[in-house]
């Protein structure tokens, strides 16, 4: 889903940069106000974790393989705005360090995978939690559904951008992209559910929805 | 003479309910070299995290005559140089130089003063040629020495080390022992390495299950087999 | 384990490596921007951009195989997206490509256009991280009003990425040596558990790093990025480089 340089029209790239820069500055401003400086190393290290997790490949039909995205996971663990920061950091390194995703398309890639991925994953999850009865099994189902949705939605936006740049008609790219990501999303759903359930078991205090930012329990929870 | 570290009736319980320290009292004088020994989970690391207020339990911690509280935290953290057990936690900057320069920069020194201090510290631990490298690329022994240099750069009055020789090969251990000897001053170190304890510390404090069960000259502690067995050290 | 796959060869010594990293960032980013905005029928321009890259590659003594190998990881994915293009009827596209109207007549030309631009950009980025240490690149971003907090987070990322990958590899080896073969979805649970542990370890490492920073007198001040003025040689290199790019671009209008 990493769009390279040269594919998107100038307008879409500019819009992508504008929206992503806006969301990132919002996240940083929020971080300055709400979060404390202890989150600076934490976000960097957690982003490194997401990067490492993205190296996990799983087979998809037709001999290709998909990899874990982690946007929904990051959002559920640390909140949607912090999640956006984390995914942005991963994408910036992938672009500058590996040429994976173009520099002119960086804003758009951050929008698709960071903004759409994190916000859809997080709010579909919190929405489902409100609607459904509260028990662990239902919770995990909600996690899976929102992780799956976040990947599919990100790919839908990716197809829209390619189509609007005149690269390919929407009726061709949308089913292709959404279709393949509907399959990749299953892996995403399984892994996200497994990670979230284990984290809830061992360190429920770190989960975003179990924690208020004013709570200072974070560091005192360190066990050495 | 006032003690450099004075701890009175310190107790600490982790948020999950684990009791880590029970009523610890300890007094360390200037220039002493003290080893803290004990089995895994005895509370050694938890204890030293109280020295500079990274953890705060019930009881009194007085460093160099200054009681530890919120407004003295900054002064006390400058006096205590804490070397963590895992150098990968300690060295968090992209390059070795940045790591050594971290503390002097926090003290508000200008870049040329920072450079002088950093180069001096790197020279003392024998890593001057590695200053531009990333810590990730160092060997474990080099990382350990870099951690010590990073702490020395604060010019601390008391050096506190968490297992400074663990995970090193014999030569690496020897180098650390010699380095610590050359640094001198007040030193408190946690260790499992009874063989090297005598050359590193004159006094040993034995901990077991969150309590201090013995505090004596190193030679006396090492000859007391029953005590060492009870503490899970042999 | 030994990883240097982000900025391999950035520690070499060459005239290109010695140039200030800010200059290199501006030049390489401009090259990508100018290349992407060049109309496709100016094939000479693309040839010249490529020639510039080859020249830099030669001066900087970076093995060409390294650049090709690194680009091969990305290019298949570019091809997959690009293959949508030639097999599409022009009338079917929603919007016109912003390039030129007659281009829409020829989908193969558009295909070629997209591929060339993507390829040059990929090579440019690989060249940038081969001639500039990654932490220098990050620090230099502050010169372009990139938020310092984000640069700090990126520095922590760069510091710990290999530590975490090593940890993941050790865990994976432990799995494999107990005869685990994670090739099906049923095993996603095992992989998920592994990632959960990896997350908790990373999270707790983040907490310990914070403690280590406090222990060394951190009071919320961010890592300092020293701003040195550009020396004459670097400014000259920047001006010549940008002038060359602009000349090629203007010549091909």
Q: What is residue B211's DSSP assignment?
A: E
The gap from C-alpha C28 to its chain's centroid, in whole angstroms, comes to 11
pLDDT at residue C3 in the model: 59
Are C160 and A44 within 8 A, CB to CB? Answer: yes
pLDDT at residue A202 in the model: 80
**pLDDT greater at residue C221 or residue C37:** C37
Of A28, A88, A99, Cβ closest to residue C126: A99
The tens digit of pLDDT for each residue in B28-37 reads: 999 999 999 9
pLDDT at residue B80 in the model: 93
Q: How far apart are CA C76 and CA C85, in angstroms?
A: 15
pLDDT at residue A137 in the model: 82
pLDDT at residue B33 in the model: 96
Minimal-distance CA residue of chain A relative to B56: A220
Question: Does A201 contact chain B (CB < 8 Å)?
Answer: no
CB A147 within 8 A of CB A189: yes
Taking domain A10-215, whether its CATH number is 3.10.180.10 is answered by no
Under the banding of pLDDT at 50, 70 and 90, the label for residue A60 is low
Under the banding of pLDDT at 50, 70 and 90, the label for residue A205 is confident
Q: Provide DSSP, B90-140.
A: H--SSSHHHHHHHHHHHTT--HHHHHHHHHHHHHHTT-GGGTTS-GGGS-H
Q: Please give the mean pLDDT across all residues of chain C.
A: 83
Q: How far apart are CA A21 and CA A84, in angstroms?
A: 11
Indicate the SS3 state at residue A124. Answer: helix
Contacts of A202 in chain C (CB under 8 A): 196, 200
CB B146 within 8 A of CB B135: yes
Domain ranges (residues) in chain C? 21-132+228-251, 149-215
CB A192 within 8 A of CB A71: no
Q: What ipTM does the predicted assembly reach? A: 0.88
Question: Does A41 contact chain B (CB < 8 Å)?
Answer: yes
Q: Give the pair of three-digit tokens for residue B55.
A: 């953890």
E-assigned strand segments in chain B: 5-13, 19-28, 33-38, 58-63, 66-67, 80-83, 158-162, 186-190, 203-208, 211-217
Mean per-residue pLDDT, A59-87: 84
Under the banding of pLDDT at 50, 70 and 90, the label for residue A222 is very low
Are B15 and A224 within 8 A, CB to CB? Answer: no
pLDDT at residue B94 in the model: 83
Domain ranges (residues) in chain A? 10-215
Under the banding of pLDDT at 50, 70 and 90, the label for residue C185 is low
Are C224 and B90 within 8 A, CB to CB? Answer: no
Please name every residue paired with B160 in a beta bridge, in sequence order, or none if there are none. Answer: B82, B188
Q: Is the pLDDT of residue A146 over 80?
A: yes
Are A221 and B45 within 8 A, CB to CB? Answer: no
Q: How far apart are CA B66 and CA B72, in angstroms?
A: 7
pLDDT at residue C184 in the model: 61
The tens digit of pLDDT for each residue in B135-173 reads: 888 899 999 999 999 999 999 999 999 999 998 999 999
pLDDT at residue C246 in the model: 92
Under the banding of pLDDT at 50, 70 and 90, the label for residue B70 is confident
Question: Does B89 contact chain C (CB < 8 Å)?
Answer: yes
Are B137 and C214 within 8 A, CB to CB? Answer: no
| Alpha-carbon dihedral angle through residues C98, C104, C110, C113, given to the nearest 10 degrees | -50
Minimal-distance CA residue of chain B relative to C226: B111
Question: Does B49 contact chain A (CB < 8 Å)?
Answer: yes
Q: How far apart are CA B166 and CA B45, in angstroms?
A: 14
Q: Is the pLDDT of residue A40 over 60?
A: yes
Q: How far apart are CA C180 and CA C189, in angstroms?
A: 12
Number of C-beta neighbours around residue C198 at 10 A: 20
Which one of A52, A63, A216 would you mutate to disrupt binding with C, by most C Cβ within 10 Å of its Cβ? Answer: A52
Q: Give the pair of three-digit tokens for residue C69.
A: 């190998």
The tens digit of pLDDT for each residue in C16-70 reads: 999 999 999 999 999 999 999 988 788 889 999 999 999 999 999 999 999 998 8
**pLDDT greater at residue A61 or residue C28:** C28
Contacts of A41 in chain B (CB under 8 A): 92
Q: Is the pLDDT of residue A2 over 50?
A: yes
Question: Does C85 contact chain A (CB < 8 Å)?
Answer: yes
Of A65, A115, A93, residue with least CA distance to C77 = A65
Mean per-residue pLDDT, C125-152: 89
Which one of C1, C157, C160, C215 would you mutate to disrupt binding with B, by most B Cβ within 10 Å of its Cβ? Answer: C215
């Amino acid at each position: 889903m990493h769009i390279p340089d040269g594919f998107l029209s100038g307008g879409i790239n500019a819009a992508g940069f504008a929206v992503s820069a806006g969301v990132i500055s919002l996240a940083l401003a929020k971080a300055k106000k709400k979060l404390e400086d202890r989150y600076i190393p934490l976000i960097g290290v957690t982003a490194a974790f997401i990067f490492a997790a993205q190296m996990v490949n799983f087979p998809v039909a037709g001999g290709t393989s998909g990899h874990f995205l982690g946007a929904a996971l990051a959002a559920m663990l640390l909140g949607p705005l912090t999640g956006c920061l984390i995914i942005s950091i991963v994408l910036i390194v992938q672009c500058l360090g590996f040429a994976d995703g173009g520099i002119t398309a960086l804003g758009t890639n951050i929008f698709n995978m960071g903004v759409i991925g994190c916000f859809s994953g997080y709010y579909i999850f919190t929405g489902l939690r409100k609607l459904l009865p509260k028990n662990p099994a239902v919770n995990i189902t909600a996690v899976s559904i929102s992780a799956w949705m976040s990947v599919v939605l990100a790919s839908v936006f990716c197809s829209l951008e390619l189509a609007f740049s005149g690269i390919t008609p929407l009726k061709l790219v949308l089913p292709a992209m959404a279709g393949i990501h509907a399959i990749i999303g299953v892996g995403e759903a399984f892994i996200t559910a497994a990670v979230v359930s284990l984290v809830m078991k061992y360190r429920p205090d770190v989960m975003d929805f179990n924690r208020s930012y004013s709570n200072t329990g974070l560091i005192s929870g360190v066990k050495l | 003479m006032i003690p450099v570290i004075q701890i009175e009736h310190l107790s600490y319980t982790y948020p999950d309910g684990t009791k880590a320290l029970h009523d610890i009292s300890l007094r360390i004088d200037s220039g002493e070299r003290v080893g803290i020994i004990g089995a895994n989970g005895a509370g050694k690391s938890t204890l030293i995290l109280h020295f500079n207020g990274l953890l705060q339990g019930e009881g009194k911690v007085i460093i160099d005559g200054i009681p530890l509280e919120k407004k003295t935290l900054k002064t006390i953290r400058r006096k205590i140089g804490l070397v963590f057990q895992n150098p990968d936690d300690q060295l968090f900057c992209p390059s070795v130089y940045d790591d050594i320069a971290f503390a002097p920069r926090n003290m508000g020194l200008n870049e040329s003063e920072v450079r002088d201090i950093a180069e001096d510290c790197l020279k003392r631990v024998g890593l001057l040629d590695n200053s531009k490298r990333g810590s990730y690329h160092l060997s474990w022994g080099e990382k350990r020495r870099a951690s010590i240099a990073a702490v020395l750069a604060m010019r601390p009055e008391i050096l506190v080390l968490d297992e400074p020789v663990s995970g090193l090969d014999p030569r690496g251990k020897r180098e650390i022992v010699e380095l610590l000897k050359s640094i001198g001053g007040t030193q408190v170190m946690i260790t499992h390495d009874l063989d090297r304890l005598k050359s590193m510390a004159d006094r040993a404090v034995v901990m077991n299950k969150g309590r201090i069960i013995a505090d004596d000259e190193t030679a006396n502690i090492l000859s007391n087999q029953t005590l060492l067995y009870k503490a899970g050290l042999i | 384990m030994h990883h240097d796959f982000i900025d391999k060869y950035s520690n070499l010594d060459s005239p290109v490596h010695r140039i200030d990293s800010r200059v290199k960032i501006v030049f390489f980013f401009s090259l990508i921007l100018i290349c992407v905005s060049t109309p496709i029928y100016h094939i000479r321009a693309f040839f010249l951009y490529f020639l510039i890259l080859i020249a830099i590659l030669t001066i900087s003594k970076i093995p060409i195989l390294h650049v090709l190998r690194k680009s091969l990881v990305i290019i298949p994915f570019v091809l997959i997206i690009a293959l949508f293009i030639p097999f599409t009827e022009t009338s079917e596209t929603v919007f016109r490509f912003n390039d030129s109207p007659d281009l829409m007549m020829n989908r193969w030309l558009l295909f070629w256009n997209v591929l060339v631009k993507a390829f040059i950009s990929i090579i440019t980025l690989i060249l940038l991280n081969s001639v500039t240490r990654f932490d220098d690149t990050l620090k230099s971003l502050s010169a372009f009003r990139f938020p310092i907090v984000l640069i700090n987070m990126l520095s922590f990322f760069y510091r710990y990425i290999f530590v975490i990958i090593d940890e993941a590899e050790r865990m994976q080896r432990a799995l494999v040596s107990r005869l685990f073969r994670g090739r099906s979805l049923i095993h996603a649970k095992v992989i998920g558990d592994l990632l959960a542990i990896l997350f908790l370890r990373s999270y707790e490492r983040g907490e310990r790093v914070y403690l280590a920073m406090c222990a060394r007198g951190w009071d919320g001040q961010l890592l300092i990025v020293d701003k040195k003025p550009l020396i004459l040689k670097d400014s000259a290199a920047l001006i010549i480089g940008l002038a060359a790019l602009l000349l090629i671009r203007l010549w091909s209008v």
